[in-house]
A and B are shown apart, each in its own frame.
Chain A
Amino acid sequence: MKIKGAELIIRILLEKGVDTVFGYPGGAVLNIYDELYKASDRIKHYTTCHEQGASHAADAYARVTGKVGVVLATSGPGATNLVTGIANAYLDSSPIVAITGNVACPAIGKDSFQEVDITGVTMPITKHNYIVKDVSRLASVLREAFDIAASGRPGPVLVDIPKDVQQAECEYEPAEDAVEPQQYRNGKEAFVQAVKLISECKRPFIYTGGGTVSSNASKELLALAEKIDSPIGSSMMGLSAVSHDHPRFLGMTGMHGKLAASRVLSEADLLIAIGTRFSDRATGNKVEYIKGKKVIHIDIDPSEISKNIPAFVSLIGDVKSVLKKLVNELPPCDRRDWHQEVEKIRNSSDRRLEMPKDELNPQTLIQAVNRHAPKDCVVCTDVGQHQMWTAQYYKFSKPRSFVTSGGLGTMGFGMGAAIGSCLGNDRKKTVLFTSDGSFHMNMNEMVTAVSHQLPLVVVLLNNNTLGMVRQWQTLFFGCRYSNTSLERRTDYVKLVEAFGATGMRVSTLEELEPALEKAFAAKGPVLIEAAIDQDEKVLPMIPPDGTIKDIILKA
């Protein structure tokens, strides 16, 4: 029996197990929305206030569930509004499929109303993209899009579908057998060398990135650490891979990493990097970063090996399976001396880095939220100082429980991400740490959270400034605060109340406790505005291209 292209899209979504779609309707996707209407018992569509919010929601949904996130938008402005979200997913290797409508094929290339060459626009920020001009190819392209997004190193795929293709008729044939996952070949030699390096080193350091999280390899990571008696540090993207009260975990390394973690890393003679791409924010000066150490790099993407940091040995493949094999082949080691040294460094942490315990400040605030939040809660952030403070002070205990914009550093990511995370985590309590700059970018999505009564606890660290930029202006630009002190008069409590959410304002620790109790007991979204001094700094800080020797402990 012949069906329309638009109905075929829904069939493929169902085939791929999609039950949640984020998006925004419009002229070029009317046919698809009509089919969504008919399939509303099987696929729930969430309409955001802006396509950017939908794209971040799909991205976060993918990160929290491990499934492919789906976002749908109309042609032209709908499609271009997705661009930041797609780039964000690309840089953080998050699997999403973006479906856009386009003008009918005969109208393409004529600068028709709401026509944009979205495949051209998104070519450098997608793993792959398609424009489907022939309905007979629609099914295979969509299936392939899901496979590409989820396989290997995950990432975004865009499928642009002209309106006449949605209306055209075609046969639907159920999918054939699923494609086999790609096999990675590492010469036997690579494992032998890795085992040798690890056995012979004195001071190993395991450095994990987001790849460990997306590969669900936390157990294997810990097994490796136990077997070779090694401390663990992580990039920001890798933060939720290990429970933060695990005795081997030292915390984040890099520009705003934990002092102890960075120090131990600098003392190591072997760096075992797992599912990470050595971003400049994580390494600082790349030459100094690896002085005196050899590097074993484990990643699923061969082009990451030696891209930024030269690897002595590389193991290509899915982190989980590589680690399993590696742990099997390794003899257990005992490194008492190194262990003792690590503990000494851990305990000698600098007192100046502690914020006062008896006042409301970023540290006491985040730790208080941490105490109130349930264990299975997902924590999201926007971008800026509040993001780094969250990375530093929140004790994550479960993989996939930290959703943040790492590679692109997208202010405005937070609200959409909180919505997607909440829906991806069975509508459980979800925390968003944000700040005045970022929140103003996409605060409209509070409206979406209200419509669906999502239990978000939005904690807004209000420092009345673009704090992270101000910090750089203080440290590197002679305190010339060009355009970062925002004279905004927003009353956040009234604002979110006008949207239908609950708002609270706190400026002391005493006020904070009852506010948090109320927020975590609420059914729908709540915003807590917390007053933060505008000159609080994120410390420590290794300046750009700097080393542990340049670390700033006090500003």
Chain B
Amino acid sequence: MCTGRIDPQFVLKAFEKGADGVLILGCHPGDCHYREGNYNALRRFHLLKKMLDQFGIEDGRFRLDWVSASEAEKFVGVINDMVKKVKALGPLKPAPPLPLSKKKGRGDIQAEAHG
């Protein structure tokens, strides 16, 4: 999927579900199939990164990089580096359990109510 399609909610969902790091890899600037998708991703990324820092989600846990289909070596390098950093940071502390365990989130209930 194009990086421009990556809703910040996807990234938060991954952390919510217990991911210790999120890595987004996209086409190089100028090479996006949809032309501008990766520029939009870049704007969201910087904003989201600043916001995640306020949630105590450290620098090394969230990364955006450009890797084209022919750059196997870069791909391996970026992944290894990411894994190294996340391992050094250790597991992300979860939010405390909810007093009421619910089968559905608030969003799901509303979606149902409004069709």
Are A and B associated in one complex?
Answer: no
Give residues in B with beta carbon < 8 Å to A: none
